Every structure is written in C-alpha cells, then in structure tokens.
C-alpha cells in the first residue's frame, strides 16, 4: 500500500492543518531528510518497482508484474528543496491536529441535527446511538476519526457518508434498540451497492469494517469475513489513487494512519476467531504505531454515554472519573497484534515453523518486553486489581495479552511447563472477568472478549474433567460470561456449545487421567478444545466438525490448524526449552 512522497509544508488548508506536498523523491534515504526535531511526520517515496518505502513505509500496492497498473513515474527532488526546508516539527503538527480536534466538538450538536435530513434516521435515535458508538464500540479499533467525521457530517465533507452513519447506528443499536438495529442494517445493505462506486473510499472502508463486526456478533460469519476482506482490499487498492486526490493535509495522513492500523488490528482479531489465515500480514509502517492527535487520550471516559444509557452496573454518578487513554491503548493493542501475527503464522498455519525453538524463545522474549514497556495505566495486574473496572477497552487489551500467552504455549501443552503457562494465563483471564462482571456485567461483551474467554476455557476443560475443584469454579465464570454475552452477541453460542459438549462427553475417563498423571505420564493423554471455535462449527448439523475429514479441502491453506499440537507432538524437535517458575 503506498502513497506519493510526502513532505509537509506549512500551507494553510481548509481543515486548518499542514498540507503535504505531492512531490516524489528518488535516490535518497528517508532518514537523510532533516527537520527541526530530526524527524519527519511522513517521508514517503516510491522505489523503482512501484513499492512505497519510507520511515513510515506503507504497504506495497502495485507490483511490477501488474498488467493493469504501471509503476508511477518517478521525479527527482533534492533533499534541500524549499518544501523540506519548510518542514514543520512533529510537535507542531500534533498541536495543529489536537487544536482542530478540540474545535470540532463545537460542530457535533449541529452535525447530529443535520444528519437526520441526510439519512432519514430520527434525530432522537441518532442522538442516542452515536454516543453509544463513541463510548463502547469506537475505543477498541478506532475505525472512525471522530473530529473529521462529525465536522463533515455537518458540512457534507468527504469523511462522512449516510452509509457510514447508518452502519454506525445499526452497530450501536444492538446494545440498545434491537428492532431498530435490524431496520438500519437492512437499509445499510441497500446503500452498499451505490457506496462502493464513490470516489472517496475512506468512509466506505470504515463502514465495511463495522458492518463486518456487527455481522460477526450476530453469527453471520460468511458475511463478516466477506465485508472485512472487501474493506482490506478497498484500502489496499485505493492507496494507488491517492496521487490523484491532490495534496494531503496532516489530518488526511492521520486518518489514513489510523485506518491502516485499525485494519491490521482488526485482521488479527477476526482471523483467530474464524480460524483463517490473516489477510494483512505486512505491517502498514516500519515504525510502531504513533497517532499524532492525542486529544482523546486524556478525555474522561464515562459509561453513561452522554445520558443515552448506563453501560455499568453502578448507579448513576458512582463510576469514578477515569481517563480514556484511547490513543495509548490502541497503539499498545496494535503492537500486540504484530506479535499475534508472528505466533499464528509459524505455529498455527499449515506451513509450520522451520525452527520452533528459536520461534518460541524469540516471541516469548518479545511478549515479555511488550508487557514491561506497556504504560502503567494500561496494565491490570490480576493479583492486584482495583475495586472498579477500568474502561472495557483497557480491560480487553489485558485479556488479549493473556490470550496471546495461551496461543504461544498451547501447541506444546504436553510439556508441563507449557501447560502451566497456559493455566496461569487462564487464571488471570478469569480474575479479569470477575472484575468486569462486578462493574459492567457480561451482557455487552464483544466477540474479541468472547474469543479470549473461549481460549482461556479451552485450556481448562481437561482439568475440570479430572475433578479439580478450582478449575471447575473458573470454568463456571467462563460459561456464565458466554451465556450472558450471547444476549447481544449471538455468535458466542458457538463457543458455548463447544465447551459444554466437551464437558458433557465421556471421552476422557477421569480415573484413567489421574492414574496417568500419577504415573508421571505428564499431559500426553490430554487434549484441548479446538483453538478456533467458529472453524469447527456447523450450524446446519448443529455439531462439531473437522473440515479435514472426508472430501477435499479446497481452501486448506487459508485455514489455521485448530489442533496445532498434532504437528508438534514430537517434542524432541523443540529441544529442552523450559520456562522459569
């Protein structure tokens, strides 16, 4: 995915931000260009093959073998050009974006009233549903850049569309007005046909991502996978058209930066749940995610949705003031998504890792560093939890961290050290869930939370079957969360049925398991549940199924291996790698 070489010149734009000069640079390294702080906000160029390369390298969009698109012509530009000499510092651009974001809040009341005329959605519904979106849906993936969306809703700008608003409201309505949600989603599907032909793809991509998330929550798995894939490819393809849009403002770049990382993170969230290979495997940038508009970082987060509804179980006004930390939480989640990708590809794809020992030790080191480097305000220590749960997006990030630990170790569960690592992570998930239940309940959990719950339960089932009381109590927490969450997220029924049927089965003889364990047989006779709940679920047959049994697997390489331990049962291939106690 790529853009023309971008250098920021302090030229005023209609949005009050710096404008990007659309010149192309060749023959010089991005790092050779200087600025007042020694860094450029964005330094993008195209190499001789039409690939984007820069300090913030966007993904390739046209390979040289394309029979449809020729690589763009390259123009020489000196690094001492006036455009670069006028380069504002990163702090200057941050100030511009932050100031613009704060000013945009003045548009919001007018924008909501104006949206009724454009979308035919009753104003009282829009005024109720949009705050629910910003409070409970937007924080995790940050698909939509609020300042631009709300401003353009008022003035008819390019970052708003009735289609995006309709999907946004339909998604939020599943937490509040179920009947309205069905009406809105039907209208959104009608609008989709025209929307994909629009010149500005950003609102369409944002809407498709939310349409995918909404359909996944309702169990429409094929549609969810299709919509997310369409969004990824539209964004990938549109990168080649950016040059024809003219100059990009700092806000334009910020919106694209956020959207590219949200797509990457979204891909790593939906891939494990559906048991499919991640679509986006290349990073959108060389550097870690960094959002320059951090105005939302320090805003107060409230479960009261602007008076629309109370997401917590606490009486009104009893939830203490808490910072939202939206930006740092999103950046941290994206960094964790990179590690998840690097676990899935070597350990769960059907290709396997060439050197499992190095893969395990390297990823474990990175995962530990990621936790240590996480800001203190984002870390929930299971052994020292507060009385009141932090905002759900912060808790979800912690759930995802412990789920990542399980994904790393479960292929090697027959080794005691790995089994114990999975169990400790599962215990931590259960403690976090109890905190969530106490403050917010389980009714509004997301599918990402649900996957974390399912994964934690999957490494606990055999201990429950062998009669461990502590494991049984923890399993009750997992099942309670999935049952209650299924009220607003019906896809959770898949996970719930897999777990309950496993617990009810007679496949494992309790006495035999205990005898094997006492004899020093370790955990070789134990099996976890499938790693990916949706892949092995057939709603028509209402039973578990293995896609590899019988018939030809026409899309085998696109699926992940739900039982990776089958590929790593010969533990000699990973040597004697042990975990510290």
pLDDT single digits (tens) 143-199: 999 999 999 999 999 999 999 999 999 999 988 766 888 899 999 999 998 888 776
Taken in order 159, 162, 163, 164, the sign of the CA dihedral is: positive
pLDDT of amino acid 102: 85
pLDDT at 57: 39
Alpha carbon distance 364, 407 (integer Å)? 11
The residue extents of the domains of the chain are: 322-574
Tell me the per-residue pLDDT of 359-390, one tens digit each, with 9 for 90 and over. Answer: 889 999 999 999 999 999 999 999 999 999 99
pLDDT digits (tens, 9 = 90+) for 242-261: 443 447 888 998 999 999 99
> How much is the mean pLDDT over the chain?
77
Asked if residue 295 lies in contact with residue 176, where contact means CB atoms within 8 angstroms, the answer is no
Total-model pTM: 0.80
Instruction: Kindly report which listed range (40-54, 71-85, 408-422, 457-471) carries the lowest average pLDDT score.
Output: 40-54
- Specify the pLDDT at position 231: 92
Dihedral sign of CA atoms 202, 205, 208, 209 in order: negative
Q: Tell me the per-residue pLDDT of 387-405, one tens digit each, with 9 for 90 and over.
A: 999 999 999 999 999 999 9
Distance CA 3, CA 55 (A): 13
The percent helix, strand, coil of the chain (3-state, each to 5) is 55, 5, 40
Instruction: Name the more confident of 473 and 175.
Output: 473
| Residue in the structure block whose two tokens are 């995918």 | 212
Tally of CA atoms within 13 A in the half-sphere of 268 that contains its CB? 28
Q: What is the pLDDT of residues 291-336, one digit of tens each?
A: 999 999 999 999 988 666 888 999 878 999 999 999 999 999 999 9
Mean pLDDT throughout 466-471? 90
Nearest CA-CA partner of 176 in 206, 240, 216, 133: 133
pLDDT at 546: 37
Q: Give yes or no for residue 426 having a pLDDT over 70.
A: yes
Which two structure tokens, joined as six digits, stand for 125? Answer: 């519904």
């Amino acid at each position: 995915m790529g853009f023309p070489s971008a250098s920021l010149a302090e030229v005023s734009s209609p949005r009050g931000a710096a404008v990007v000069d659309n010149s192309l640079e060749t023959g010089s390294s991005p790092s050779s260009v200087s600025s007042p702080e020694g860094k450029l906000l964005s330094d993008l160029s195209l190499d001789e093959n039409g690939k984007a390369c820069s300090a913030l390298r966007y993904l390739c969009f046209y390979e040289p073998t394309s029979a449809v698109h020729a690589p763009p012509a390259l123009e020489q530009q000196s690094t001492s050009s006036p455009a670069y000499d006028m380069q504002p510092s990163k702090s200057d651009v941050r100030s511009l974006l932050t100031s613009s974001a704060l000013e945009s809040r003045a548009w919001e009341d007018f924008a909501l009233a104006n949206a009724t005329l454009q979308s035919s959605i009753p104003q009282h519904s829009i005024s109720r549903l949009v705050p629910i979106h910003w409070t409970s849906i937007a924080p995790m993936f940050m698909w939509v850049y609020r300042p631009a969306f709300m401003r353009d809703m008022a003035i008819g700008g390019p970052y708003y569309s009735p289609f995006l608003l309709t999907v946004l409201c339909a998604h939020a309505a599943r937490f509040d007005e179920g009947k309205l949600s069905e009406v809105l989603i039907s209208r959104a599907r009608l609008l989709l046909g025209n929307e994909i032909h629009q010149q500005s793809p950003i609102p369409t991509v944002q809407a498709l991502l939310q349409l995918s998330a909404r359909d996944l929550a309702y169990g429409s798995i094929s549609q969810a996978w299709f919509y997310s894939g369409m969004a990824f490819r539209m964004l990938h393809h549109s990168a080649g058209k950016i040059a024809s849009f003219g100059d990009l403002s700092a806000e334009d770049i910020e919106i694209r930066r956020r959207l590219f990382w949200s797509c990457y993170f979204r891909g790593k969230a939906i891939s494990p749940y559906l048991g499919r290979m991640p679509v986006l495997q290349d990073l959108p940038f060389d550097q870690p995610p960094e959002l320059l508009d951090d105005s939302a970082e320090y805003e107060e987060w409230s479960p009261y949705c602007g008076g629309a509804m109370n997401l917590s179980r606490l009486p009104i006004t009893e939830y203490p003031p808490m910072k939202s930390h939206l930006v740092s939480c999103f950046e941290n989640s994206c960094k964790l998504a990179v590690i998840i990708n690097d676990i899935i590809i070597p350990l769960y794809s059907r290709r396997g890792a060439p050197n499992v020992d190095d893969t395990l030790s390297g990823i474990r080191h990175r995962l530990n560093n990621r936790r240590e480097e996480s800001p203190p305000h984002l870390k929930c220590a299971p052994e020292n939890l507060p009385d009141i749960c932090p905002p759900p997006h912060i808790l979800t990030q912690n759930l995802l961290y412990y789920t990542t630990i399980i994904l790393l170790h479960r292929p090697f569960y027959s080794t005691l050290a790995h089994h114990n690592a999975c169990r400790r992570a599962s215990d931590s998930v259960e403690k976090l869930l109890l905190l969530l239940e106490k403050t917010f309940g389980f009714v509004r959990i997301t599918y990402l939370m649900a996957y974390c719950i399912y994964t934690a339960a999957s490494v606990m089932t055999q201990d429950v079957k062998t009669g461990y009381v502590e494991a049984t109590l923890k399993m009750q927490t997992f099942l309670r969360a999935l049952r209650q969450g299924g009220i607003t997220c019906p896809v959770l029924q898949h996970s719930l049925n897999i777990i309950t049927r496993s617990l009810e089965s007679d496949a494992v003889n309790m006495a035999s398991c205990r005898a094997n364990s006492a004899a020093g047989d370790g955990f070789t006779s134990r099996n976890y549940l499938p790693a990916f709940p949706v892949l092995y679920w057939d709603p028509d047959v209402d039973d578990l199924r293995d896609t590899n049994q019988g018939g030809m697997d026409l899309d085998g390489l696109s699926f992940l291996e739900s039982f990776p331990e089958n590929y790593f049962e010969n533990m000699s291939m990973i040597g004697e790698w042990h975990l510290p106690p």
